[in-house]
């Protein structure tokens, strides 16, 4: 006899209390395997595919795409042990007949017994969530053989829904956006070679395959073949609406013609954090112009010596960690309840990155222990993950100090807003050729404006000025940094 189990939205970590349903990966009546992704949700931190710890037949879904659900709310119910035996001719016996309104209300109360006989459960634990007692081996429920639905495992690996044949093994893809892009253009990810670390398939790999006209797989291949394959995904006729563009599901138009876009997901999280920063932190900003000619020359010499290339942001990060060692007050947070300043022993360095989904701040953990070379590699990895939507909640939280390189937008200066609950942020403007007095003579030099916004509760202007002056000295004379090594 089938046992109906309820799968609730798990705690996705870092204090997240809700998530928005972006796309359902299964329908009512589908057969799902243990730990198969069943829904794609967007939290305030990242896009996540949520696996179901039960194997069986989906009997109900709760919430339409675009709906926000709190942690602990029901996602779906699964009838465990409802698969049809081999040779049975009636696939309808595999599961109860789906109710027409099953997507909005349960057909019957789910079983509440937390642990006793969940043989179809994996026992795997998400963040703050488990399925009860673990089992010795994982039992995968196979689809009924005579005309029953096919479990959509091919969909999550980039193939078309209902594509014949089993998936031979896992595909080196971690980004739901990459999977979606491949699926919408009918690409079989198993035919692609990833350019990322350990063969990881990145968004650029899928876009290149689209441009080169890699043969599509499944039913969607015919549709994709008729679309233009020139340019990136946003130029293809079957591509989704770019992130940030108001759609019918995310925006509403008033009678006067104004468009209202909900503050959700990443944009909503950024809005809340910036508002809280302005309300709670009495900030102040100081800035200085620095001659970056010698720093650029030092970077060129490093990269000319061979080996991995070192980015400019990595050099600024290395300078910042050295400056924070001299001025630890700026690597702190304020405990308002205890009225204490908490000096933090590790430097977890955040950096602002602009993506299609909005502004994100990935965090390089233990940056004070990293070399310029390792910092370059980590910045590159996190930036690519941010653009593909593959950043995890852990990679987006826990920062103690933030770098904001707004110079990439071609602007000279800015007054950054502190990333709450941190105590300071360093802003870096563009490096541009300007007239500068060098060794007593007027010369054309590469000049950058640096700005430091700091929490005036943790230090005064003397400390902030000392920090910023040390950073500027290292920029103008990179040899100064050697004293801190």
> Alpha carbon 316 to chain centroid distance?
24
- Looking at residue 157, what is its pLDDT? 40
Q: Are the CB atoms for 462 and 280 separated by under 8 Å?
A: no
CA distance 399 to 35: 31
pLDDT along the chain (485 residues), means of 10: 84 70 90 89 75 90 86 89 46 40 41 43 46 42 41 38 44 66 80 77 82 56 36 34 44 71 75 88 96 96 90 95 96 94 96 81 95 94 88 88 93 90 96 95 96 96 96 94 70
Q: What does each C-alpha distance from 259 to 248, 252, 253, 255, 262 come to in angstroms?
A: 11, 6, 4, 9, 10
Sequence-distant (6+) residues with CB within 8 A of 38 are: 7, 24, 25, 26, 32, 50, 51, 52, 58, 75, 76
> Of 1, 30, 6, whose CA–CA distance to 132 is shortest?
6
Give the pair of three-digit tokens for residue 184: 């919408």
Give the residue from 397, 439, 443 showing the smallest Cα distance to 421.
397
Residue 355 falls in which region: left (phi positive, over 0), alpha (psi -120 to 50) or beta: beta
Q: State in Å, rounded, how far the first CA of the chain is from the last one.
A: 68
Q: Can you give the pLDDT at residue 125? A: 41
Query: Could you give phi then psi for residue 424, rounded to 5 degrees?
Result: -165, 160
Is residue 303 helix, strand or coil?
Answer: helix
- pTM for this one? 0.55
Which residues are identified as catalytic?
456
Closest residue by Cα to residue 52 from 10, 84, 19: 10
The H or E element that residue 297 is part of is helix 293-304
What span, in angstroms and rounded, lies between the C-alpha atoms of 153 and 7? Answer: 19
- Decide if 50 contacts 117 (C-beta within 8 A): no
Predicted local confidence at residue 252, as pLDDT? 58
Helices and strands in the chain: count of H runs, count of E runs: 9, 21
Neighbours of 190 (CB within 10 A): 17
The confidence score (pLDDT) of residue 433 equals 96
Q: With respect to CATH, is domain 266-484 assigned 3.40.50.261?
A: no
Domain spans, the chain: 1-150, 152-240, 266-484
Query: 1.20.140.10, 2.30.30.110, 3.40.50.150, 2.40.50.100: which CATH number matches 1-150?
Result: 2.40.50.100
């Amino acid at each position: 006899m089938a046992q109906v189990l309820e799968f609730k939205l798990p705690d996705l970590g870092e204090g997240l209390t809700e998530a928005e349903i972006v796309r359902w990966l299964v329908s009512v009546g589908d057969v799902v395997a243990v730990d198969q992704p069943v829904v794609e949700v967007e939290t305030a931190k990242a896009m996540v595919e949520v696996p179901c710890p039960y194997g069986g037949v989906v009997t109900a879904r709760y919430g339409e795409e675009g709906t926000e659900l709190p942690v602990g709310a029901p996602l779906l119910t699964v009838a465990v042990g409802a698969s049809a035996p081999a040779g049975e001719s009636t696939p309808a016996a595999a599961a109860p007949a789906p109710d027409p309104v099953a997507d909005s209300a349960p057909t019957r109360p789910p079983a509440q017994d937390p642990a006793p006989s969940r043989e179809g459960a994996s026992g795997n634990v998400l963040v703050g969530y488990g399925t009860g007692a673990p089992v010795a081996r994982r039992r995968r429920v196979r689809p009924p053989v005579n005309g029953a639905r096919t479990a959509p495992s091919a969909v999550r690996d980039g193939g078309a829904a209902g594509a014949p044949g089993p998936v031979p093994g896992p595909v080196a893809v971690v980004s739901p956006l990459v999977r979606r892009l491949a699926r919408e253009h009918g690409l079989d990810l198993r035919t692609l070679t990833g350019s990322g670390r350990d063969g990881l398939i990145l968004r650029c790999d899928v876009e290149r395959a689209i441009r080169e006209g890699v043969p599509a797989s499944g039913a969607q291949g015919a549709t994709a073949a008729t679309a233009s394959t020139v340019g990136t995904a946003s130029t293809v006729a079957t591509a989704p609406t770019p992130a940030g563009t108001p759609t019918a599901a995310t925006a509403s138009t008033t009678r006067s013609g104004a468009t209202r876009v909900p503050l959700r997901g990443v944009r909503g999280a950024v809005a809340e954090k910036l508002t809280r920063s302005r309300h709670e932190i009495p900030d102040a900003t100081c800035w200085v112009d620095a001659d970056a000619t010698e720093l650029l020359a030092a970077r060129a010499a490093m990269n000319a010596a061979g080996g991995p290339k070192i980015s400019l942001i990595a050099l600024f990060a290395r300078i910042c960690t050295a400056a924070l060692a001299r001025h630890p007050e700026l690597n702190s947070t304020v405990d308002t309840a205890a009225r204490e300043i908490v000096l933090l022993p590790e430097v977890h360095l955040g950096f602002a990155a602009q993506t299609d989904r909005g502004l994100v701040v990935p965090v390089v953990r233990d940056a004070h222990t990293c070399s310029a070379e390792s910092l370059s590699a980590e910045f590159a990895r996190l930036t690519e993950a941010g653009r593909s939507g593959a950043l995890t909640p852990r990679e987006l939280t826990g920062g103690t100090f933030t770098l904001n390189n707004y110079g990439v937008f071609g602007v000279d200066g800015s007054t950054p807003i502190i990333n709450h609950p941190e105590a300071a942020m360093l802003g870096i403007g563009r490096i541009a050729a300007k007239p500068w007095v060098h060794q007593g003579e007027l010369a054309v030099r590469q000049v950058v404006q640096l700005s430091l916004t700091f929490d005036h509760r943790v230090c005064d202007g003397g400390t902030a000025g000392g920090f910023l002056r040390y950073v500027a000295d290292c920029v103008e004379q990179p040899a100064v940094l050697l004293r801190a090594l």
